[in-house]
A and B are shown apart, each in its own frame.
Chain A
Amino acid sequence: DQQVKQNSPSLSVQEGRISILNCDYTNSMFDYFLWYKKYPAEGPTFLISISSIKDKNEDGRFTVFLNKSAKHLSLHIVPSQPGDSAVYFCAASPETSGSRLTFGEGTQLTVNP
């Protein structure tokens, strides 16, 4: 039972363009969402988060959008850079007080020079 789903296993974009990574969830109890970037042989690196009381959070080139009614969130990276090439995981938590994270399957982003 995959409660957090990333339906695109891979995404390829040109340097300088926008990368949009999508994530859907099924558990209505989730109200805190995070995006992580992962390089091979390293642990996930925290990028950005959003709580359910917001619909948008921005940090530099990274913006996360949350559509609670659709149970959908997306990560926008603008402009994309070759160093952004990595696996991106969407994660969700049922409360903001430090509960376990449930991860999606990940999307491999490749940014071509």
Chain B
Amino acid sequence: AAGVIQSPRHLIKEKRETATLKCYPIPRHDTVYWYQQGPGQDPQFLISFYEKMQSDKGSIPDRFSAQQFSDYHSELNMSSLELGDSALYFCASSFRTSGRYEQYFGPGTRLTVT
């Protein structure tokens, strides 16, 4: 079965640079979520989109922005990167319209800021 695809899998950036993370949800899934997992921590919710509209917003820095496109893929844009942004970034998707609410996660993008 198709899973959530994230690219790139690994990304190394320097401080103050920008990064763009991409997420391709499971086909027919209508909701995309972004989570950040720091070293030794649990995943923390950043932002979500339902049918291409922002549906919820968590502890996402103002330096970060995200959107969901007409083909349902989503991009997380991160600017003015800081050392503390080094983390695993997970995208998840769900098929909210179906009434099933479990979220399926991608393999993650490991961002390292030097």
Contact = CB atoms under 8 A, between A and B. Distances in A.
B25 interface: no
B7 to A, nearest CB: 13
A102 B107 CA distance: 19
Interface residues of B, number: 26
A96 B101 contact: yes
Given A98-B31, A98-B55, A100-B58, A46 B45 contact: no
Contacts of A103: 42-44
A100 B45 contact: yes
A34 B31 CA distance: 17
Contacts of B55: 98
A100 B101 contact: no
A49 B45 contact: no
A98 B43 contact: no
Contact of A93 (B44, B58, B101): B101
A45 B90 CA distance: 12
Interface in A37-71: 41-46, 49
A42 B90 CA distance: 10
A87 to B, nearest CB: 10
A89 B56 CA distance: 22
B4 A43 contact: yes
Interface in B38-63: 41-45, 48, 50, 55-56, 58
A8 B37 CA distance: 19
A100 B56 contact: yes
Nearest to A4: B42
Nearest to B55: A98
B107 A43 contact: yes
Contacts of B90: 43-44
Contact of A98 (B50, B104, B107): B50
Nearest to A32: B101
Q: What are the 9 A-B residue pairs with the smallest beta carbon separation, nearest first?
A: A43-B105, A98-B96, A103-B42, A100-B45, A44-B105, A43-B107, A46-B102, A96-B101, A98-B31
Interface of A: 32, 34, 36, 41-46, 49, 89, 93, 96-106
